[in-house]
Chain A
């Protein structure tokens, strides 16, 4: 149950710490960085989905006036790299595997010259047979995309817990169906970019990445140097959503050019380049799912088969597939489950991490099958969700241990906010309601058996507080949350706290933004550091106030004796007193936290995360039966993220996640022609605008508290994108009795389904 607390800073509606720069235009993003002597880089990309390079001649390009460097694979160590499988090369070694694959690059005095030079690079290609569909790619005889990866299978997941055959036999109702999800591009308004420098054996790369240490490691591997020889400095980041987590080659190519040219080199993706080969889009998955239920609605068994489209290189797709295969078993009570998942190479853009990280694809299937089952069981879908929803203490079949959990409260609140029962009792023609539940992690033990964070907090002599953290800010409000935690713990006003730029030379190791980890994991580290700094302050203050440290409290920048607040000194007083004396020292403390999670073992068993966040969403739609057009009239979204540290920020995360969910469900979608995205721009690929959002959004947070989280908080960032598409599809079924099983939901599909149903 939640613990009600009053805080000075936590839970207050505060202004974003870095807001001034953003509204004034002063914040410097990667394209705003200008270094003396900086060159402009451009990348030559494969025009073919699968082709061998017979020869490359860069001599004409090199001779073009204004060109300072041209690089090909010969300028690399020809080492594959990648987050999980090292299957991607900075520049094509022999074979290009998708339209957009990096082949060569040029650094020149300006962009136009670099572009002209690209056109002077002569590449002799031998086209190879290509394969674009993952099921086809798994067939015997399909073109092999990576040597040694038989049937183009990058990874296979095979997990069974309990005995599904017996469980299905014991089920009163068995339902099954197949669902197909699609690519989704991050479309951060700022594209990927970097500015690289090389000096005396060391690379310094300014990047708009949200994971500076992970980037450093991968870039070092790709370049064949040690991590200490690569410094990553985070620029302002214009949105990431998982798309700027260094799974692409932009920074590596910039580094190669910088070394060869002996000058700083900047490469900023154009928008169509971003679509072709920039951020790695969401992994499309075909999911066959079968579930067994008892008549009272309890889930008895689940079996799924996933075929996921890896694209040409793996990046984070292996982990995404793993999440899609197993994560959802932490939302409902499961015992007997079986998963078979294949991640399959195709000659298309590499897929990877995007907010939700596999959950949206899995829930597109599972939340719809729940809805199908509800219909057949004669149980209201929202009741079916409640019957099966997990509670605190649940342990999933894969070992996920749920701490705090208010999923049922989320369901109850959604029911109320959308008017579920009333609307279903008073039906309006062509209107319907649908819902879905979700679970997500607050960080996950993925990499190197580390699910932790570190931070340093120092208090200056003027009483101002400075956090050294390498987590970085991608726009989601990390800086503000961490500053709020430090402010609360130290007892200083938020305005007195600031946070460093993320820089691998300056900070200690941080995993960065992924897995909704920062508030929970890094927040705990910051709190730890702040608590230790406060202890130092109190030790000093205890001398000055002639009281025991245990008798002291701090608030609004003052340290006082509890019970007689007029006896106080300022934080600045304490900091100065500690420093300016014989044997003095500054107030500075190091904090660390590692979550109580475990690496999944070979059978993928293990408690992934220290905290699980939950959510429920519902949509009210209206369908035009003559055109198939669907309008979302009202949307309800309730999240359990424990304590809401920054309400404005948290609401913003819910809103933004919904927008991406709506885009995924209805407005986005790309067709491919011979492996090439057919309209790689914002005119062809439509992300929602203000008018495309549901007129009415009711959002709320569950009353919840996670004891292991900083001030009771858990993660939130991804939750809101997970069940949206399924909720909308379920609502369409409720409205007109047709179910859309492939994304995106288009009026044409809805109309066809209605026509088929009426025929």
Chain B
């Protein structure tokens, strides 16, 4: 039996009706219509479905929509503000961190979550964090470069 739940997604409030077994991933893609978050493996390994829930990096394929009633979700679409890309998004373009682009939303959301918790991570910390996002195209070197480019930008404005 469908349940009515409320989700705030990228700052906007939604009220949707979902079956109890509906994954947050599918609710975002189908009910809310934000298809930037992808399904890659369905078991939480690849990270293509990464979103932030109340600021916390989450595999949206590993959580039920109804378990997130009342929560605030950030998806890749929420990182674009008035057509302006987030520095991470721009870096992935500038440094070649994205090839086919399918893992890219998850990679960028994961990097965003990292930098929000820790604006000045070391390369090792970035490697460890980003290891949860699989990519088959890039070999990862340019993903690391893209994230470190933004870290360096932060260093530029370090107090």
Contact = CB atoms under 8 A, between A and B. Distances in A.
A689 B134 contact: yes
Nearest to A187: B136
Interface string A252-283: 00000000000000000011000000000000
A270 B131 contact: no
A186 B136 contact: yes
B101 A475 contact: yes
B102 A25 contact: no
B32 interface: no
Interface string A219-238: 00000000000000000111
B113 interface: no
Contact of A691 (B36, B41, B128): B128
Nearest to B141: A655
A345 B99 CA distance: 35
Nearest to B108: A23
Given A188-B100, A651-B142, A687-B134, 13 more contacts: A19-B98, A22-B100, A24-B76, A238-B103, A239-B100, A271-B40, A474-B100, A475-B99, A475-B137, A648-B96, A655-B142, A656-B136, A689-B132
B94 A15 contact: yes
Contact of A689 (B79, B94, B131, B137): B131
Nearest to A21: B101
Contact of A22 (B43, B79, B104): B104
B34 to A, nearest CB: 7
B99 A652 contact: yes
A84 interface: no
- Chain B interface extent, by class: 35 or more
Contacts of B127: 690-691
19 contacts: A15-B94, A16-B98, A18-B101, A22-B98, A23-B76, A23-B108, A25-B37, A188-B102, A189-B46, A191-B40, A241-B136, A474-B100, A476-B100, A648-B95, A648-B96, A652-B142, A681-B43, A683-B43, A689-B134
Interface in A401-442: none
A655 B143 CA distance: 11
Contacts of B41: 189, 271, 681-682
A539 interface: no
Contacts of B99: 16, 239, 475-477, 652, 656
Interface of B: 29, 34-43, 45-46, 48, 75-77, 79-80, 85, 89-90, 92-96, 98-105, 108, 127-128, 130-144
Nearest to B88: A23
Q: Identify whether the interface residues of A are mostly helix, strand, loop, or mixed.
A: loop
Interface stretch (A26-34, A143-151, A306-314, A492-500): A26-34
B101 A238 contact: yes
Nearest to B142: A652
A190 B40 contact: yes
A654 B137 CA distance: 10
A242 to B, nearest CB: 12
Contact of B98 (A23, A654, A683, A690): A23
Contacts of A26: 36
A18 B93 CA distance: 9
Given A271-B43, A655-B139, A690 B144 contact: yes
Contact of B105 (A25, A236, A476, A691): A25
A7 interface: no
B134 A189 contact: yes
A28 B36 CA distance: 8
Contacts of A658: 139
Given A25-B36, A655-B138, A682 B89 contact: no
A605 to B, nearest CB: 36
B139 A657 contact: yes
Contact of A189 (B75, B80, B103): B103
Contacts of A687: 134, 136
B94 A655 contact: no
A20 B80 CA distance: 11
Interface in A646-673: 648-649, 651-652, 654-660
B104 to A, nearest CB: 5
B137 A656 contact: yes
The list of the 9 closest CB pairs from A to B, nearest first, reads: A25-B36, A475-B100, A22-B101, A238-B102, A655-B139, A19-B93, A659-B139, A25-B76, A23-B89
Contacts of A73: none
A387 interface: no
A655 B140 CA distance: 7
A16 to B, nearest CB: 6
B26 to A, nearest CB: 9
A599 interface: no
Nearest to A25: B36
A697 interface: yes
B38 A190 contact: yes
Contacts of B80: 24
B75 A693 contact: no
Contacts of B130: 690
